[in-house]
Amino acid sequence: MWVIVDHSGDEVEDVTLELLGQARDLADRLGLPVAAVLLGDDIGGLVPLLGQCGADTVYLAESPLLGAYNPDAYTPLLTDLVRRQQPSIVLWGATDQGRDLAPRVAARLSTGLASNCTRVDLSEDGLLVMTRPVYGGKASCNVVCPQARPQMATLQPGAVPARRPDPDRQAQVIAVDVNISAQSLRLRLEEVIKIPPSDLDVTEAEVIVAGGRGVGSKEGFHLIEQLAHLVGAAVAASRPAVDAGWAPYKRQVGLSGKTVAPRLYIACGISGVNHHVVGMRDSRAVVAIDQDAQAPIFQIADLKIVGDLHEVLPSLIERLRRLRQERGTAEDEEVLRTLANVPGARQVS
Amino acid sequence: MNVVVCVARGVDTSDPLPIRPGQAALEEEGLRHILNPADEYALEEGLRLKDRFPDSDVTAISMGPPESEPVLRRCLALGADKVLLLWDEAFRASDTLTTARILAAAIRQVEFDVVLCGKRASDGDTGQVGAQLAELLGLPAVTSVLQLEVKGGETLVHRRLERGRREVLRCPLPALLAVDEGINRPRYPKLRVLLRSLEAEIPRRGLADLGLRADQVGEAGSCAQVVNLSPPKPITKGLFIPDSSLSPEERWEQIVSGGMEERHGDVIQGPPDAVAERLLQFLTENNFV
């Protein structure tokens, strides 16, 4: 039973830890060991956590050529490793890397793959049953791969809970030779661009500042935009704010807009009717600012601020500006420099 | 420049789905079929290449039953120069890899510089065929392409990553590019071209034409098997029981609100500056700024 590790270079992605927990559970029922496959450049430091989260062995392939994900390097390496070790099941995260890489490896191995699974389980005869959404999420189907090996699935992040790391567990490390030449890489990475949060689609944003009817006016909405700029967030709006023309439709969150699940959602002047809440209730943390202490948004808020946003936000914006001025890193300076482009920024100071 | 666009007949998922619980396929009756929306972006990108390099030739290829002909007519109406339907009874119930195998066999027979695919099919939703086709053809490939530019035998593409990041990649031609939804805004057909497309002959290739064996394709060649299809199960977060200590009115309100679990967060009230200070503290403690 294998898990292909997703990592950012210095941190293992949550989805991998979830997969390890799931793999441990399935492997124990089948009497198999769990191996994590870790590819990258100078990433040995990630091994202990993989062991603590359920891996018995870690196949470690390190090379400068593996630093950034390149399918031309990762595909032959993994295909070769699977051919030699012959795992019966391989699990991947349905991430940027997994979604690109898993089908390629499956094609080279001529085996089946179920992608974007929400669940994996075992059938009575020990086959991996992979449950995945089809028809745009309107149905789900169970997929099995009876003959070909390995059985492969990519799992959606958050589909299964991660296990608590066990500090006493350790994994045995097996180094993998990397015999890939730089000439064989056809794709060349020029650069990685980070889209400024303000231009980011709300469904992609990690932090969102949203404004609703309580914001009161287009000028009031500039406060939302400034706050979003200072915390590196995308701007969102509830339907009344969009209907009033304070924000474009593409920024609408809720039943008739988009569904989001950021790490932090700051709701300003949004009372929290159901139509809005269904679009954001999966947010990891919610901060709500509203004058009405009875507003339903407070029922799902982790930090409930009862007060006038027109008084709280300018004060918060000023504090954030000062914080960034004092800290003065390159990023802070960039944020402050570009703040001038945000509408209404000058009037407030 | 020769451009091959892989297209598929997709199910219009905006309609209610005739699911027969326990069965592996949908009830055919009542299903509406359309050009798979994700492939429309791929075709549009191909047509834009033709706009830029007027001596280009855009070929739309589809693997699917004869009922897929309207989809290829649609491609002709939108501006494709040629179309090709790949079908044989042996192709039925192909999984993603066998579909890729059939497409690869057909694409090997034509000249091409770029192969374009959509992100995913509206029905199967696997998003696998593009990358698998590239492997079978031995082509360099980029998936989730949000922007592409062809210049001097190579292409510069933007690949969409999570969290608002984009990879800028240089890729030599010939190559396969799987485009993301939203890369462009697909055009409307011209009436004259549309009318002509209705009468066009749709050429077809079968098993023997493609040099394939029956055990390589269709159900026989497929590894992944769909066991059954069911309506999606809602993700339940425990059974909701209204709080019996509440008044009937509040209990009712809780029920109609979907019984969302209340988050027991801190309530902050007071002068605006003190509140702002506490909020700032929350943001810094949790590393949001």
Give the 3-state secondary structure of chain B. CEEEEEECEEECCCCCCCCCCCCCCCCCCCCCEEECHHHHHHHHHHHHHHHHCCCCEEEEEEECCHHHHHHHHHHHHHCCCEEEEECCHHHCCCCHHHHHHHHHHHHHCCCCCEEEECCCCCCCCCCCHHHHHHHHHCCCEEEEEEEEEEECCEEEEEEECCCCEEEEEEEECCEEEEECCCCCCCCCCCHHHHHHHHHCCCCEECCCCCCCCHHHCHHHHCCCEEEEEECCCCCCCCCCCCCCCCCHHHHHHHHHCCCCCCCCCEEEECCHHHHHHHHHHHHHHCCCC
Rounded to a whole number of angstroms, the CA Rg of chain B reads: 25
Whether B163 contacts A196, CB under 8 Å:
no
Q: Measure in Å the smallest separation between the Cα of B195 and chain A Cα atoms.
A: 31
Please tell me if residue A197 touches chain B, with a CB cutoff of 8 Å: yes
Across the interface, of B160, B265, B279, the residue whose CB is closest to A316 is B279
Please list every residue in chain A whose beta carbon sits closer than 8 Å to the beta carbon of residue B117. Answer: none
- Per-residue pLDDT of A184-230, as tens digits, reads 999 999 999 888 777 788 888 889 999 999 999 999 999 999 999 99
Mean pLDDT of chain A: 91
Task: Identify whether the C-beta of residue A309 lies closer than 8 Å to the C-beta of residue A303.
Answer: no
Which string of b and e fits A269-303 if b means at least 16 CB within 10 Å? bbbbbeebbebbbebebbbbbbeeeebbbbbbbbb
Higher pLDDT, B116 or B231: B116
- The predicted pLDDT at position B217 comes to 93
- pLDDT attached to residue B182: 80
State yes or no: pLDDT of B240 exceeds 70: no
The Cα B98–Cα A302 span in angstroms is: 50
Chain B residues 200-259 within an 8 A CB cutoff of chain A: 222-233, 257-258
- Interface contact flag, B280 A323, Cβ < 8 Å: yes
Which member of B130, B158, B232 has the closest CB to residue A139?
Answer: B232
The pLDDT of B225-238, averaged and rounded, is 71
More confident residue, B248 or B117: B117
Start-end of H helices in chain A? 14-30, 47-52, 71-85, 96-109, 218-231, 239-243, 274-277, 309-327, 330-339, 345-348
Give the minimum alpha-carbon distance from A134 to chain B in angstroms, rounded to a whole number: 5
Contacts of B270 in chain A (CB under 8 A): 307
Interface touch B156/A107, C-beta < 8 Å: no
Q: Give contacts of A299 with chain B, Cβ < 8 Å.
A: 257, 260, 262-263
pLDDT value of residue A228: 92
Contact list, B126 vs chain A (CB under 8 Å) = 103, 113-116
Task: Name which of B97, B125, B166 is nearest A195 (Cβ-Cβ).
Answer: B166
Instruction: For residue A39, give both structure tokens.
Output: 């590819």
Within 34-93 of B, beta carbons closer than 8 Å to A belong to none
ipTM for the complex shown: 0.84
> Region A17-35: what's the mean pLDDT?
95
**Residue A145: CB partners within 8 Å, gap ≥ 6?**
A111, A112, A114, A127, A128, A151, A152, B223, B224, B225
Q: To the nearest whole angstrom, how far is the Cα of A54 from the nearest Cα of chain B?
A: 26
Task: Kindly determine whether residue B277 and residue A190, on different chains, have CB atoms separated by under 8 Å.
Answer: no
Q: Under an 8 A CB cutoff, do A204 and B140 touch?
A: no
pLDDT exceeds cutoff 60 at A348: no
In whole angstroms, what is the distance from residue A340 CA to residue B144 CA? 34
List the beta bridge partners of residue A141. Answer: A132, B229
Record the pTM.
Answer: 0.81
Interface test with B, best of A186, A255, A289, A329 (most B CBs within 10 A): A186
Partners of A287 in beta bridges: A266, A303
A194 contacts B165? CB cut-off 8 A: yes
Which residues touch A336 (CB under 8 Å, ≥6 apart)?
A321, A324, A325
Tokens of A179: 């015999």
- What size, in residues, is chain B? 289
Q: What is the pLDDT of residue B238?
A: 57
Question: Is the minimum CB–CB distance between B131 and chain A shorter than 8 Å?
Answer: yes
Residue A117 DSSP SS3: strand
List the single residue in A with minimal CA-CA distance to B160.
Answer: A96
For residue B156, list chain A residues with Cβ-Cβ distance below 8 A.
Answer: 190
Convert the pLDDT of each residue in A127-171 to its tens digit.
Answer: 999 999 888 778 889 999 999 999 999 999 888 888 889 999 999
Residue pair B180/B146 in contact (Cβ under 8 Å)? The answer is yes
Question: How many beta carbons lie within 10 A of that of residue B64, not counting itself?
Answer: 22
Angle between helices B129-137 and B96-108 (to 10 degrees): 50
Which pLDDT belongs to residue A76? Answer: 96
List b or e across B231-257, with b for residues whose CB sees 16 or more CB atoms inside 10 angstroms. ebeeeeeeeeeeeeeeeeeeeeebeeb
Q: What is the mean pLDDT of chain B?
A: 89
B157 neighbors B142 (Cβ within 8 angstroms): yes
Contact assessment for residue B44 and residue B180, using Cβ atoms and an 8 Å cutoff: no
Size of interface A-B (CB pairs under 8 A): 245
Q: Which percentage of chain A shows pLDDT scores above 70?
A: 99
pLDDT, tens only, B12-56:
887 777 877 777 777 777 788 899 999 999 999 999 999 999 999
Question: Nearest CA to CA, how far is A316 from chain B (Å)?
Answer: 5
Give the sheet arrangement for strand A119-122, strand by strand: A119-122, A128-134, A139-144, B225-230
Q: Cβ of B31 under 8 Å from any chain A Cβ?
A: no
Interface contact A116, partner B, CB < 8 A: yes
How confident is the model over B250-270, as a mean pLDDT?
Answer: 73
Name the one residue in this structure whose structure tokens are 């870790």: A38
* Residue bearing the bigger pLDDT, B237 or A310: A310
Give the integer Cα–Cα distance in Å for B10 and B70: 11
Q: Which of residues 46-105 of A touch B (CB under 8 A)?
A: 71-72, 75, 95-96, 99-100, 102-104
Of B143, B165, B227, which has the smallest distance from its Cβ to A144's Cβ?
B227
pLDDT score at A347: 47
| Residue-wise pLDDT tens digits, B86-101 | 999 999 989 999 999 9
Q: What is the tens place of the pLDDT at every residue in B267-282?
A: 888 888 888 999 999 9
Domains contained in chain B, CATH given = 2-221 (3.40.50.620), 234-289 (no CATH)
pLDDT at B257: 66
Query: Over 90: is that where the pLDDT of A4 sits?
Result: yes
Point out the residue among A205, A303, A307 whose CB comes nearest to the CB of B266. Answer: A303
B262 with A100: Cβ contact below 8 A: no
Domains parsed from chain A with CATH numbers: 2-184 (3.40.50.620), 197-348 (3.40.50.1220)
In this complex, the residue of A264, A293, A299 whose CB is nearest that of residue B260 is A299
Amino acid at A174: I
pLDDT digits (tens, 9 = 90+) for A105-124: 999 999 999 999 999 999 99
8 Å CB contact of B165 and A192: yes
Q: Answer yes or no: do A116 and B131 touch at CB < 8 A.
A: no
Optimal mutation site among A8, A72, A92, A100, interface B, most CBs of chain B within 10 A: A100
Residue with tokens 């959404």: A133
pLDDT tens column, B46-98: 999 999 999 999 999 999 999 999 999 999 999 999 999 999 999 998 999 99
